[in-house]
Structure 1
Amino acid sequence: MQIKTQDILNKWKLYTLTNDTGMTVSFLNFGGIITDISVPNRYNQLENVVLGYKNYVDYEKNPYFFGAIVGRVAGRIQDASFTIEDQLYTLVANEGGHHLHGGDGGFHQVIWQASPFQTDDTVGVKLSHRSLDGEGGYPGTIKVSVTYTLTNNNELILDYSGTSNKTTVLTMTNHSYFNLNGNLAASIHNHHVTIESDEFVELDKELIPTGKKINVAKTPFDFRTERKLADGINSLSAQNRVANHGYDHYFILNQTNRPNVSVNEETSGRVMTIKTTQPGVVMYTSNNLEDDLELAEGKSKPYLGVCFETQASPASLHHDDFPPVILKAHELYEKQTVFSFGIKG
C-alpha cells in the first residue's frame, strides 16, 4: 500500500493510492476530482475505467463535472430556490432557470484540505472543506469531509460527513463517469447494469422532477434483472427521449443486503458493484457529452461513460415523499458509498 503526491500546475496536489494488488486511484485536492481508476481486466491488464482530461488545466472549468465531489446539493434544484423554516433562499441559476450541482462555486471548484493516512490494509486521504453561511445562497456555515479509502480487496470507499450551524440542505456525491471497457476502448452501450429499484422519478423537458414516481415494470428503466444500457439509449420511450436518448434519472433504491448497483462488461470481464447508504442514485449515460474534448485516452463523445450519483433527492424541496436533503442545525450528515471492482467468473 502506498500514497504518492505530485504537484499539478503549481497550485494543486495529485494523490495516487496504490494497493497491494496494483489497483490505483488518482485524484486532485481541487474538487476532490478522481482523474484515474486503474483496475485489471480478465487478462490482468491494468487500464483506466473513468473519464478524465488529457490536460489538467481543463479541470478548472470542468463543465461535465468529471470525477468531482458535487455539493452542497447534487442534482437540480427547481427554480434555483427553496424554503426552509418559512425562509426563502435563492441560489444562482446556472442551468436555465435552475440550480445544478452546487452552482458555479460548488464543491467541485474548491481546493480541499488533504490529510493522507495508511493502515496495514488500507490507504487513503481525508478531504475537508468549510463553506461559509450564504455562499452560493445556501444557509449555514458547513464543515464537510469526504474520505477516499482504497482497500486490498479492490474497494474504493467514499465516506461523506458534514455539520452545519444552521438548518440547511446537503446531499453530496461523486460524479465519476465509468467505462469498464478500459482506456475508452468502446462506448457504454454494452455495459450490463442491475439496479435494486422498483421506482424512478419522472422528469420534465428541463430535466426537473415532476413529483411523479414511475414503476419500472415493463419499461426500459427496469434494471431489477440486468439489461444493457443500449436498451434505453435506443428506446423511443418518452422518458428516455426527454433525457436526450438515454438516462439521467433518479432511481429510488430498495433496501436489500445485495449491492445496490452492479455493472459488468463482457469483453474486459470487469465487474463493478456499488453499495451505498444513500436512498437513491442518479444514473446518467453521458447523453449530452460533446464531441472532441481532449480526454486522457482520446476524444470525447456521447455515451462514453456512465455516472452513478448516489444521493438523496433535491426534488424533496418541492415535492412530498422524496428522500430529504434537509440537514438540521448541528445534526451529523454521514453517508458512505463503496465501489468494488472484480472480474466476472
Structure 2
Amino acid sequence: MSTRLTGARLGAVVLLIAGLGVAGPSTSYAAAAPSITREAWGTTTGGEAVDRYTLVNNGLRVRILTYGGILQSIEAPDRHGKRADVALGFGNLADYEAKSPYFGCITGRYANRIAQGTFVLDGVTYHLPVNDGPNSLHGGTTGFDKRVWKATPASTGNTVSLRLEFTSPDGDQGYPGALTTVVTYTLTRGHEIRMDYRATTTEPTVVNLTNHAYWNLAGEGAGTIDTTRLRINASRYTPVDATLIPTGAVDPVARTPMDFRKATAIGERNRSGFAQLVIGRGYDHNWVLDRRDASYRKLEVAAQATDPRSGRQLTVLTTEPGLQFYAGNFLDGTLTGKSGRMYRQGDGFALETQHYPDSPNQATFPSTVLRPGETYRTTTVYRLGVSHG
C-alpha cells in the first residue's frame, strides 16, 4: 500500500511516475513494461525518512529499501509460473532496525570479519568496533546496513535501476578516509538483479562490499533449505579458527563436506562431524573461486542453487575472488518474517560475493586496500530462472 506524500516528497513521486510509469495493483507485471515506483516506508528511530522502491521487469518484481540498501522482497516464478517471494526479511522498518541479521542489506565498509577489530595500514593501527565475539563484523556496530542511502531511479527502456549513494565520513566506525560509495541495482529483462559497486576514498583505507540476501527458493517462510541443491565453482576454501577468522590456509575441498563442485543438497552434509562445520554450526565459510580471469574484472559463474520442489534456480555471477556461503545456522526461531512464520535454523541461505574475510590481516590474501585516486569496482549478478529437470 503506497503512503500518501505531501510537499517536496510528493514532487519527487510525480517526477518518477511521469518519467518511468506505474505498475498498479491490478497490473500483470509479467507482461507490463519495465517500471519503478516509490513509496514512503517509515522513519528511523533517528528521524530519517525511508523509502521503498518497487522495480518490475519481465516477470520479476524486486523491492528495495533506502535503509541499508535492503533487498526487501524478490518475487520470482516457479516452473509453473507461480510467483513467490524468495528473500527472507521483515514487513516493517522497526524490525530491520532492531532485529535484522543483515537480511538483504549492503554490508560495509568491510563485509565479513576482521580479527580482533584491528588492522594495520601503512604502519598505522586502526581499531574497529567489536560486534561478533572478539571480532568486527560487516563494518561494525553501525555499518552500511544501518544507514539511509540517497536514491536515484532510472530507466533505459529494457531495464530499470536504482542508484544508491552514501558517504561514510573519515573515522566512521574506526575506518580511515571519507568513503563515497555508489551501489546501483539494475533489473534486466533476463530476470537478473545486477549490482554494481563503486567507491572512492580521501585516505588509504580498506573496502569489501557485498549484498547479504537470505534466499529460500521454495518461498520465504517455506521451511528448510536442506533439499536445495547447491553448486559452488571452487576447489579450495579458507578454513577458520574457533571465532570464524581464517587461519591463513587455503585448503582443498576434495574429499570433504566443503566440496560443492557438483550440485549437492545443502542438508546432505551440513550436520556432519567435520571440524570446520562444528566450528560454524554448519556452513559459514569463504570459498576461493576457480576464476579464469585473475584481474577480477570479468563476470564469472560463482554458484548455482536449485530448489527441486519449485524448480526455481539462482545463478550467481561475480567479478569477486571469493564467495561466503552461509546456511542460516544462527536463525533460531526468535524472528518472524513477512509471511508471519518463524525463521528457524536452515530456513535460508546467503551467497555473499566478496574478497576474503580478514584480508587486511592476511598478507597472502588478495588485497582490499583502496587509495585516493583509485576507484573500487565490483559487480555481482543474481540471475533467477527455472529448472525443468
> Taking structure 2 as the reference length, what is the TM-score of the superposition?
0.86
2:326 paired residue number: 284
1:57 paired residue number: 94
Q: For 1:115-170, what per-residue CA distance to the aligned partner results, in whole angstroms no more than 9, with x for missing partners?
A: 00011110010000101111110000111011000011100000000010111000
Q: Which moved more, 1:50-59 or 1:65-74?
A: 50-59
2:164 aligns with one of 96, 112, 127? 127
Secondary structure of 2:269's aligned partner: helix
Q: Which moved more, 1:66-75 or 1:312-321?
A: 312-321
1:138 paired residue number: 175
Consecutive unaligned residues of structure 1, counting only runs of 5 or more, are none
2:50 paired residue number: 12
2:284 paired residue number: 248
Letter of the structure 2 residue corresponding to residue 15 of structure 1: Y
2:361 paired residue number: 318
- Structure 1's consecutive aligned runs of 4 or more residues displaced over 4 angstroms after TM superposition are none
Secondary structure of 1:60's aligned partner: helix
Does the CA contact (< 8 Å) of 2:221 and 2:343 recur in 1? no
Q: If you compute each CA radius of gyration, which structure gives the higher value, 1 or 2?
A: 2
Secondary structure of 1:291's aligned partner: coil
Q: 1:1-345, aligned counterparts within 5 Å?
A: 1-10=34-43, 11-19=49-57, 21-244=58-281, 246-256=282-292, 259-297=301-339, 298-345=341-388
Partners in 2 of 1:143 and 1:13 — Cα distance?
21
Does the CA contact (< 8 Å) of 1:5 and 1:14 recur in 2? yes
Higher strand share: 1
Partners in 1 of 2:315 and 2:83 — Cα distance?
18
Q: Return the offset for 1:95.
A: 1.5
Q: Which moved more, 1:176-185 or 1:301-310?
A: 176-185
Partners in 2 of 1:281 and 1:42 — Cα distance?
27
Q: Return the offset for 1:234.
A: 1.9
Partners in 2 of 1:330 and 1:187 — Cα distance?
46
Q: Return the offset for 1:258.
A: 5.6
How many correspondences in the alignment? 343
Q: For 1:231-276, what per-residue CA distance to the aligned partner results, in whole angstroms no more than 9, with x for missing partners?
A: 23221101111101x1000001111486211110111001110100
Letter of the structure 1 residue corresponding to residue 354 of structure 2: Q
Partners in 1 of 2:220 and 2:247 — Cα distance?
37
Q: Which moved more, 1:52-61 or 1:34-43?
A: 52-61
Partners in 1 of 2:237 and 2:107 — Cα distance?
21
Partners in 1 of 2:360 and 2:93 — Cα distance?
36
Q: Return the offset for 1:62.
A: 3.8
Q: Which moved more, 1:229-238 or 1:256-265?
A: 256-265
Does the CA contact (< 8 Å) of 2:355 and 2:366 recur in 1? yes
Consecutive unaligned residues of structure 2, counting only runs of 5 or more, are 1-33, 44-48, 293-298
Partners in 2 of 1:230 and 1:174 — Cα distance?
23
Does the CA contact (< 8 Å) of 1:157 and 1:337 recur in 2? yes
Q: Which moved more, 1:1-10 or 1:189-198?
A: 1-10
> Taking structure 1 as the reference length, what is the TM-score of the superposition?
0.97
Q: Return the offset for 1:316.
A: 2.0
Does the CA contact (< 8 Å) of 1:211 and 1:315 recur in 2? no
Secondary structure of 1:207's aligned partner: coil
Q: Which moved more, 1:248-257 or 1:121-130?
A: 248-257
